């Protein structure tokens, strides 16, 4: 617990679904993730890997067991504090990108940083442009996200997850909508973040090549960790 090399630790985490009937989706999940690790989670659909990722991201608080993140016990935090943690320390990429449809790509990327308020608006805008450029989206920056293609939206969502330099980046199939060229761009970015900036990446994926190239694979089946 006091090991400062560990960013995220789960202890006996379990979760139930109650509909259509009571069903245990996650059983006795315990593992540690080190700072700077690039972890992928694999498993068949229904194995509970996405559900686990949502718990880790603090977006789902209905579970048993304990989560420790960056030296803080998440399980006992109030919702307001969890929101702060999500804003500052966690970058999340959804399977269905989930961008705000009324805003431009640039604004979507900027909003978490504006919320955090660590930098001035100009600094944030510059950083957002840089991140979008890195993902090949500079020319789409001022377009409304509803006018972008699925792959472009996915990359905007990744840029949004990176904007606050989070301690951990979580992705639910972050490359699911991307072609091989963009997939390798995103992979390289994640690799660089973990190795050079000591940020941590956890990604759920169905892409075996993607998983194999990561530092560590967690394989799940029937709500348990196999490997």
Of 155 and 160, CB closest to another protein: 160
Q: Is 14 in the site for another protein (CB under 8 A)?
A: no
DSSP track, 118-185: SS-HHHHHHHHHHHHHHTT-GGGTTSBGGGS-HHHHHHHHHHHHHTT--SEEEEESTTTT--HHHHHH
List the interface residues with another protein, window 37-76 (CB under 8 A): 54, 57, 59-62
Per CB under 8 A, the segment of 5-13, 100-108, 127-135, 207-215 that binds another protein is 100-108
Number of residues near another protein (by CB under 8 A): 34
Per CB under 8 A, the segment of 30-38, 106-114, 128-136, 205-213 that binds another protein is 106-114
Taking the C-alpha atoms of residue 37 and residue 183, their distance in angstroms, rounded to an integer, is 19
How many residues make up the chain in this entry?
227
Cross-strand partners of 200: 168
Taking the C-alpha atoms of residue 203 and residue 39, their distance in angstroms, rounded to an integer, is 6
CB of 116: closest distance to another protein in angstroms? 7
Q: Is 15 in the site for another protein (CB under 8 A)?
A: no
Per CB under 8 A, the segment of 34-42, 105-113, 131-139, 203-211 that binds another protein is 105-113
């Amino acid at each position: 617990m006091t090991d400062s090399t560990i960013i995220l630790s789960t202890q006996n985490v379990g979760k139930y679904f109650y509909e259509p009937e009571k069903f245990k989706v996650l059983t006795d999940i315990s593992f540690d993730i080190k700072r700077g690790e690039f972890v992928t989670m694999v498993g068949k659909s229904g194995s509970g890997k996405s559900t686990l990722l949502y718990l880790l991201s603090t977006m789902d608080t209905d579970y048993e067991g304990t989560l420790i993140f960056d030296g803080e016990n998440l399980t006992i935090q109030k919702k307001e504090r969890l929101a702060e943690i999500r804003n500052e320390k966690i970058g999340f990429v959804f399977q269905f990108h989930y961008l705000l449809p009324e805003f431009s790509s640039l604004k979507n990327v900027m909003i978490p940083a504006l919320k955090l308020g660590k930098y001035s608006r100009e600094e944030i805008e510059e950083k957002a442009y840089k991140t979008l450029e890195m993902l090949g989206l500079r020319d789409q920056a001022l377009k409304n996200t509803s006018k972008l293609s699925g792959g472009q939206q996915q990359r905007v969502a990744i840029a949004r997850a990176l904007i606050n330099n989070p301690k951990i980046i979580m992705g639910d199939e972050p490359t699911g909508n991307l072609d091989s060229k963009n997939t390798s761009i995103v992979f390289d970015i994640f690799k660089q973040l973990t190795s050079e900036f000591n940020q941590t990446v956890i990604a759920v994926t169905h892409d075996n090549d993607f998983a194999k190239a990561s530092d560590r694979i967690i394989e799940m089946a029937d709500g348990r960790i196999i490997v």
